[in-house]
Homo-oligomer: A and B are copies of this chain.
Amino acid sequence: MHFISETSSDGVCEQLFVLNEIPGVLWTPEGAAGTRPLILLGHGGGQHKKAPDILGLARRFVTECAFAVVAVDVPNHGDRPVDEKYNRIAVENQARIEAGEEPAPLIAAFQALVAQQTVPEWRTVLDAVQQLDHVGAGPVGYWGVSLGCGLGVPFVAAEPRVRAAVLGLGGSLASGADAARITVPVEFLVQWDDERVPRDQSLALFDAFASADKTLHANPGKHGDMPGFELDSSVTFFSRHLA
């Protein structure tokens, strides 16, 4: 784990790092010492580890909960090099969708492929970050919607350190079998008029979680219209389960 820079503002310390060629960012309370809960944030498709919504949420977890927060770029996103393998599939999928194929199964298969890479990457990130004195081996939460849900469901299923997860804007095609292995508390976000994820597939993914403590929040609007008060709810949810 190689730190590139460290800056602080308004009580939040931000450290950029590279770990096994994966660019990442760690946010902690300024002057933090000792073990604390850690949230891994999974960004959306076409976004990156410091996209505005990720950055805003990270700062809230740090300032309101005194948690540590980490995010890394997904392959082919942010500061990572272009991966021709993924690009080729994306181009093929686009052509198939334009030819009339249903997008959902294509997206699901693509996310499942990328998850084969990101699940071990993210586990390595946890290993490294939890060795830092100002993070430590506290309880871990995962937050990710859209692509962050497609990659997050297999990650949460695989990683016993994760004690609670906010997921959403994803459907059962992507990750139904992995969802059935998840038993930790889940808050699941649905956009009621999602143009990318059919409603029945969203509800089927919620049904698939094996968690006894799971809660579904649905709001009107399209894929990109998630209301800001759901971020308040994410903060409350992780405060309840990790603090």
Contact = CB atoms under 8 A, between A and B. Distances in A.
Nearest to A207: B192
Given A232-B236, A233-B233, A236-B232, A220 B212 contact: yes
A172 to B, nearest CB: 15
A214 B220 contact: yes
A213 B214 CA distance: 23
A131 interface: no
Interface in A21-71: none
Given A232-B236, A236-B232, A236-B236, A218 B218 contact: yes
A206 B217 CA distance: 12
Contacts of A220: 212, 214
Nearest to A232: B236
Nearest to A230: B215
Contact of A216 (B212, B214, B217, B232): B217
A224 interface: no
A85 interface: no
Given A215-B218, A215-B219, A229-B240, 4 more contacts: A192-B216, A213-B227, A215-B227, A216-B218
Interface of A: 192, 206, 212-220, 227, 229, 232-233, 236, 240
22 contacts: A192-B216, A206-B218, A212-B220, A213-B227, A214-B219, A214-B220, A215-B217, A215-B218, A215-B219, A215-B227, A215-B229, A216-B216, A216-B217, A216-B218, A216-B219, A217-B217, A218-B218, A229-B240, A232-B236, A233-B233, A233-B236, A236-B236
